[in-house]
Amino acid sequence: MLEGVRVLACGERDAVKLCAALLERAGATVDFAAANSVDYDVIVVSSDVDHAADWKASGAHIVCDITATGPQDSRAGTPWSDAQIQAMSGLMDTTGFAHGGPARIGIALTEISAALYAAAAIAAAVRVKRLRGIVQNIDVTLMACATSALTTFLPAAFAGRSAARVGNRHPACAPWNAYRTRDGWILICTSTEEQWRKLRQEARVPALDDARFATLSNRVTHVDELDALIETWTATLATDDCTRMCERIGVAAGPIVGIADLHDEPNFRMRHARAARDIEANGIDAKTYRQVSIFETSALSETRAAAKPRTRNSEGNAGPLAGVRVIEIGQYTTAPLVGKHLAALGAQVVKIEPPGGEVARSWKPGQGGTSYFFALNNTDKRTIALDLKHEADRAHLRTLLKDADVLVENLRPGALAKLGFTRETLGAMNPRLVYCSISGFGIASAYPSRPAFDTVIQAMGGLMDLTKSDGAPVKIGASAADILGGQAALFAIVARLASSADEAGTFIENSMQDVAAWCALFAAGKGASRGQTLACLDGHVWTEGDVTDADRARCITQPKAVAASGIAQAVPVMRVDELLEDSDFLADALSAARDASGAFWPVLKVPYRLAKTPACVRAVPGAPEIVRRAPPAPARAPVPEDRHAAEIRDDMR
């Protein structure tokens, strides 16, 4: 992928080190010290920690500068920590239980996110240099990476509301929570009435038949009573037994895996046997995470047909991926996040939606019948509605795929194959296709039939064990497993497109649990970070300095902005809705896009800046185009895959 690219990584910031590890995983040669920087194609540095001005001014290298805040930010130049950025960006306030205070996320989420976005931006810049001879600088900020993860919380702020912390619950689904078992914890997540019916029958708790729980809205209203009753059932079972029971009835569930026990988690042990044995024998140290791969690549098909070279190159300051054609099949966060960034980088992205459009289009709040959430995750795409139960629509998809460069999807493993789109078939119709499959547990998995949600992956990847509120495990408020999984897929795809190797088709496998484990092991290898939240009149402050009883007493009587100014290394913990009154957020992160009718939408800029071939967010898609089907042909026997086609909606995660 990036073979032949030489990288110099300078500095102590975690994002620099992680970015270097990612580039090395993609084939680049990485050094962490050098007397002569002339020999390097790429330099990764953090100018708020180390000197970078001369390298950036020379024009001789692709220089990626990862800083806490942007150069125009009023807080620029200060090497803020990951936790301080969590607090200032609103991320920290989204994590924790409703009855308690905000909780620090147990992994360096903003550093990790910055590393992933920086690696993708570097790969894009390498592609531009290879195809057009343009060398440019890149700026990535932890603050922009943090705010870009707020897509589930910003919609409420756009509507003038404040989104409350929900702990391990879902604001619109119930039951959806962490429940105690006989020997630990289990996450159970229901999203349909059918799942609730099956769970209620399995639990055999008579009170669950009460009218208070008859409808989803009633269950959400009475969620405290509901969760208490569910736990009377789970508390009688071992975690493994409860998990298997939920898997059998098609309900997403999984144990909260302790980081020290990750090596015994069956899917992790199956997919990363060497790392599991090493953890079991030696524990977790600063290098353990490097034994876990966040993506795998292989030939698209066993039959490697001759591939025609790509000829759609662009000149000048067009986006790095100008001329690249992408097909996206997926919903909610992971695949849409990948498609959004590929489009911002200049690719032509066609999003395939089911008839009636993606479910997330209708989520509240929004405008003109489309949700803010959907708009934030799907900018600059052309959208088409296809009913893949019908052969005519599958034929249209085949036509699109024949001329595509990339296919990215987050269906259940095997869903496309059931519809006739196996790797062999895809390789035959398009020998140079880059096909990226994103799933919860991977293609080769100990759980081939287990559904996966972000919350379950956070639990089973070690993230929840590292994030605690009042001593109890709690999920990261942002959809961290979904977002980080999408970022890892984005990097793998762009790195493949930057390759100077032959144009043979490539299959990229991305498991969200692998990415979550990679992040959790990195955090565990570093050890716990110092700091605490203090309650104030109007919220909380986060401090990493020494705190006295007098400081705590004074904070309670002061607004958080005043309290933070009087305590060493303290910053206010911002609410997400407060960001809309923050001049730095408005200038550096927020932007406006238009839809086909001319209406304006609040959207987020990408958190990386390429100096000469910028990534741009411009438009929000309207309703999906409807493909006109030909009149039905005379009835005939269905093709074999049709017996599975009705499952496609269930396979859309």
**Residues 234-245 pLDDT 10s:** 999 999 999 999
Q: How far apart are CA 542 and CA 88, in angstroms?
A: 9
User: At 563, is the secondary structure helix, strand, or coil?
Assistant: helix
pLDDT at residue 310, rounded to an integer: 56
Q: Indicate the burial class of 96 (C-beta count within 10 angstroms; 0-12, 13-18, 19 or more).
A: buried
Domain extents for the chain? 176-257, 296-442+489-525+629-651
CB-CB neighbours of 274 under 10 Å? 9
- Name the residue with tokens 């997540």: 189
Q: Angle 374-439-416 (CA atoms, 0-180°, nearest 5)?
A: 85
Q: How far apart are CA 292 and CA 373, in angstroms?
A: 32
Q: Angle 513-326-66 (CA atoms, 0-180°, nearest 5)?
A: 60
pLDDT at residue 55, rounded to an integer: 85
Is residue 522 within 8 A of residue 285, CB to CB? The reply is no
CATH topology of domain 176-257: formyl-coa transferase, domain 3 (3.30.1540)
pLDDT, the chain, mean = 92
Identity of residue 423: R
Which of 107-111, 160-164, 351-355, 373-377 is the least confident region? 160-164
Q: Please check the confidence at residue 58 and state whether its pLDDT lies above 50.
A: yes
Identity of residue 64: C
Q: Please check the confidence at residue 650 and state whether its pLDDT lies above 60.
A: no
Identity of residue 543: T
Tokens found for residue 19: 């970015």
| More confident: 317 or 105 | 105
- Name the residue with tokens 């900018």: 379
Q: How far apart are CA 381 and CA 375, in angstroms?
A: 10
Longest Cα–Cα distance in the chain: 84
Q: State the first-to-last Cα distance of the chain, in angstroms, to the nearest integer.
A: 29
Q: Please check the confidence at residue 632 and state whether its pLDDT lies above 90.
A: no
pLDDT at residue 637, rounded to an integer: 46
**Residues 468-510 pLDDT 10s:** 998 899 999 999 999 999 999 999 999 999 997 767 899 999 9
Q: Please check the confidence at residue 286 and state whether its pLDDT lies above 70.
A: yes
Is residue 520 within 8 A of residue 259, CB to CB? The reply is yes
pLDDT at residue 649, rounded to an integer: 38
pLDDT at residue 352, rounded to an integer: 98
DSSP assignment, residue 526? Answer: H
**Residues 166-219 pLDDT 10s:** 999 988 889 999 999 999 999 999 988 999 999 999 999 999 999 999 999 899
Judge if pTM exceeds 0.75.
Answer: yes
Is residue 418 within 8 A of residue 638, CB to CB? The reply is no
CB-CB neighbours of 202 under 10 Å? 15
| More confident: 643 or 354 | 354
Q: Please check the confidence at residue 350 and state whether its pLDDT lies above 80.
A: yes
Q: What is the DSSP string of 179-230?
A: EE-SSSEEEEE--SHHHHHHHHHHHT-GGGGSGGGSSHHHHHHTHHHHHHHH
**pLDDT level of residue 307 (50, 70, 90 thresholds):** low
Q: Please check the confidence at residue 638 and state whether its pLDDT lies above 90.
A: no
Please report, rounded to a whole number, the percentage of residues in the chain having pLDDT higher than 90: 81
Tokens found for residue 629: 């089907």
Identity of residue 348: Q
Q: How far apart are CA 582 and CA 467, in angstroms?
A: 27
Identity of residue 603: V
**Residues 441-466 pLDDT 10s:** 999 999 988 888 999 999 999 999 99
pLDDT at residue 93, rounded to an integer: 96
Q: How far apart are CA 117 and CA 137, in angstroms?
A: 14
For residue 517, is it left (φ>0), alpha (ψ between -120 and 50) or beta? alpha
Is residue 347 within 8 A of residue 312, CB to CB? The reply is no
pLDDT at residue 651, rounded to an integer: 44
| More confident: 162 or 255 | 255
Taking CA atoms, 24 is separated from 3, 123, 436, in Å, by: 9, 12, 20
Q: Indicate the burial class of 201 (C-beta count within 10 angstroms; 0-12, 13-18, 19 or more).
A: exposed
Q: How far apart are CA 324 and CA 311, in angstroms?
A: 10
- Name the residue with tokens 């699109």: 400
| More confident: 628 or 355 | 355
Hey, which residues are catalytic here?
482
Q: How far apart are CA 101 and CA 540, in angstroms?
A: 8
pLDDT at residue 504, rounded to an integer: 83
Q: Please check the confidence at residue 308 and state whether its pLDDT lies above 80.
A: no
**pLDDT level of residue 57 (50, 70, 90 thresholds):** confident
Q: Please check the confidence at residue 644 and state whether its pLDDT lies above 90.
A: no
Is residue 146 within 8 A of residue 91, CB to CB? The reply is yes
**pLDDT level of residue 646 (50, 70, 90 thresholds):** very low
For residue 319, is it left (φ>0), alpha (ψ between -120 and 50) or beta? beta
Q: How far apart are CA 157 and CA 361, in angstroms?
A: 18
Alpha helices in 611-647 (DSSP H): 642-645
Q: Angle 305-308-309 (CA atoms, 0-180°, nearest 5)?
A: 130
Identity of residue 575: R
Is residue 162 within 8 A of residue 538, CB to CB? The reply is no
Bridge partner list, 603: 591
- Name the residue with tokens 């185009």: 625
pLDDT at residue 653, rounded to an integer: 44
Which of 29-43, 512-526, 591-605 is the least confident region? 29-43
**pLDDT level of residue 164 (50, 70, 90 thresholds):** confident
User: At 43, is the secondary structure helix, strand, or coil?
Assistant: strand
**Residues 551-593 pLDDT 10s:** 999 999 999 999 999 998 999 999 999 999 999 999 999 999 9
Averaged pLDDT, 93-105: 94
DSSP assignment, residue 173? Answer: B
Tokens found for residue 64: 């990626």
Side-by-side strand order, sheet with 532-536: 532-536, 539-543, 570-572
Tokens found for residue 630: 């030909």
Q: How far apart are CA 617 and CA 340, in angstroms?
A: 9
Bridge partner list, 591: 603
User: Domain 296-442+489-525+629-651 has what CATH class?
Assistant: alpha beta
Averaged pLDDT, 627-648: 47
**pLDDT level of residue 98 (50, 70, 90 thresholds):** confident
pLDDT at residue 640, rounded to an integer: 39
* Spatial CA neighbour of 228 closest among 244, 211, 207: 207
